Structure 1
Amino acid sequence: MCHAIKRLFCGMGVNPTVYELDRKEMEMALMRLIGASSAAALPVVFVGGKLVGAMDRVMASHINGTLVPLLKDAGALWL
């Protein structure tokens, strides 16, 4: 997860679970699961087992107000 997204979540009081893709096999398996054709789609964020998307989608969700309800529904944010 990129530094900006980690900072966003920590600033909101969310403790993200991070899985670093340090092995090519893991990266390729995730890309197949999310339907990505290149590594440019990584990193991606899942909230409550649901794919939110890459950094642009996470930031757009934060700006348009849909990220907080998603985090609350997943039990990641209690406020």
Structure 2
Amino acid sequence: MKVAVWDTYVKREDGNIMHFDILVPDNVTNEQTIFNFGRDYLNTKTFKTNQLSANECRLCHIEQATEEIVLSIENKGYYIIEMENCN
């Protein structure tokens, strides 16, 4: 499966910047759908963050998904790669 990688930066209430990627099937192109996936992920955090929009989340590239990514996408529609300040 080919996935689109959406590079995402969101400011936390403590001032740190979260950096994570939202991976979705490459045929999912509706930005609001992708932003909603990001919001769902942010809602799992114990800390508050700023809003997620096109200013914070942009299509970066397309890549081949691993089996773990495919299973997550089949289960919930997306996969998150945590990069910085996500915990």
- Higher relative contact order structure (alpha carbons within 8 Å, sequence separation ≥ 6): 2
For the criterion TM > 0.5, the same-fold answer is: no
Write 1 or 2 for the structure with the bigger share of strand: 2
Give the TM-score band, short-chain normalised: under 0.3
Under a length normalisation based on structure 2, what TM-score does the superposition of the two structures give? 0.26
Under a length normalisation based on structure 1, what TM-score does the superposition of the two structures give? 0.28
